[in-house]
Structure formats: C-alpha cells, structure tokens
Amino acid sequence: MYFTSESVEALVEQFSRLPTIGRKTAQRLAAYILKMSRDDVEMLANALIAVKDRVIHCSVCFNVTDEDPCPICKSPKRDQGLVCVVEEPSDAVALERTHGFNGVYHVLGGVISPLDGVGPDDLRIRELVERLRNGTSGDSGSVPIREIILAVNPNVEGDTTAFYISQLLKPFEVTISRLARGIPIGSNLEFADEATLTRALESRVSF
C-alpha cells in the first residue's frame, strides 16, 4: 500500500527507519498522525526537537539528562558509594522503576562485542576506573565507592564485558557484584531452559 500523498509517504519512510518499525507499522503510525489534532502533532514535533536540542550526557554517570550533573548524581538522598554499571540509559530507567535501588549509575554506552567492532576503548570503562579512583561527588566532598554492581545483560557480550571490568577493577579495594540470574517470578521450572536453571542453582540464596 502506498499513500497518494507525498507528504504522508515521506512520513512513512521516516517511521520505517526506526528500529523494529516495519513498513506496515509505519503506515499505521502515519495514519494515526493524520487523525491527531494539529496541537497534538505540534506537541509531538516539539518533543522530538527538544530531545535533540536539550538532552546531553551527564558528565558523571553519562546518563541522558537535561542538566549536568543529572538529578540522580546530585541528589543528597542517593548512596554515592554504590554504583550500578549498566549498558544503556534505558537500563537505568528499568532499574529505577523497581524503586529498589538507592545508589547511582554509570552508563557504559554498550558492551564489548568484537564481531561488531566494539572494544573496551569504545565504552566508558576508562571513565569508570577514574571515577573509582577519585570517588564520586557528594554533599560533603568526594565519596569513596565501596561497591560496583555490574548490571549488564546476561548474554555473551554482557558476560565478556562484566568479566573484563571485574578483572580491571581487581586492584581496587571495592566489592564487585553482579545481578543474580535465575527463574522469573511466576514461571514454572519445567519450562525453564538448562542455562537458566544452572544459573538459578549457582545464584541460590539461604533462608
């Protein structure tokens, strides 16, 4: 299906360039835009432009923010000595939704992936080491980091990145931990794969 309007076709093409958006989905999005009021479309357009004009990376944790340092890094209520290392800003958002983490973050900007040409120097690992060496900024000055939580994805690239960072940080007097992996809540053991069951056994806890 092709629209008879060149303007709509151009919009479909732009939507199609987004990740996971195929042409059919792009067509549905374009059709929805046509039904929106002009005010709503302008709000959407302004939000897109604001993302490019205002959003920067925090100079401390490298999360996306409108101000530097970001609200999490400068919050007096956050535990500056507890740093959670994540791959992307979206991972920090996921952890924040749990309301179970009161530390701060360090966004790597990806993972080590030789097949994709991404090495340690392409990530913000050097900045993590410097942050660990110098401490993080708190209300009363520099706060020493006592624990690094490696919250990378449980796949080959994530495991490689976690191992590299853990070896790099060994000379420092800091606790290095990683998120536990196991059986999701609400699932059944019979449907879990062998790798997940193995990880669950390795990560078992005492009552």
Note the pLDDT tens digit of each residue in 19-61.
999 999 999 999 999 999 999 999 999 999 999 999 999 999 9
Start and end residues for every CATH 1.10.8.420 domain found in the chain: 6-54
Q: Looking at the predicted structure, is the pLDDT value of residue 199 above 80? A: no
Helix ranges, 78-120 (H) = 89-97
Q: Which fold has domain 6-54?
A: Helicase, Ruva Protein; domain 3 (1.10.8)
Please say whether the structural domain 74-178 has been given the CATH code 3.30.70.1230.
Answer: no
The pLDDT value recorded for residue 141 is 61
Q: Looking at the predicted structure, is the pLDDT value of residue 83 above 60? A: yes
* Cis peptide leading into residue 19 (ω within 30°): no
Percent of the chain with pLDDT over 90: 75
Q: Looking at the predicted structure, is the pLDDT value of residue 135 above 80? A: no
Residue entry with tokens 């740093």:
83
More confident site: 70 or 186: 70
More confident site: 13 or 140: 13
More confident site: 88 or 140: 88
Phi, psi of 97 (to 5 degrees): -65, -25
What's the pLDDT band for 1 if we cut at 50, 70, 90? low
Start and end residues for every CATH 3.40.1360.10 domain found in the chain: 74-178
Tell me the residue type at 54.
Answer: R
Phi, psi of 159 (to 5 degrees): -65, -40
- The Cα–Cα gap between 162 and 179 comes to 11
Encoded tokens for 207: 């009552």
Residue entry with tokens 């056994």:
201
Quote the DSSP letter at residue 76: T
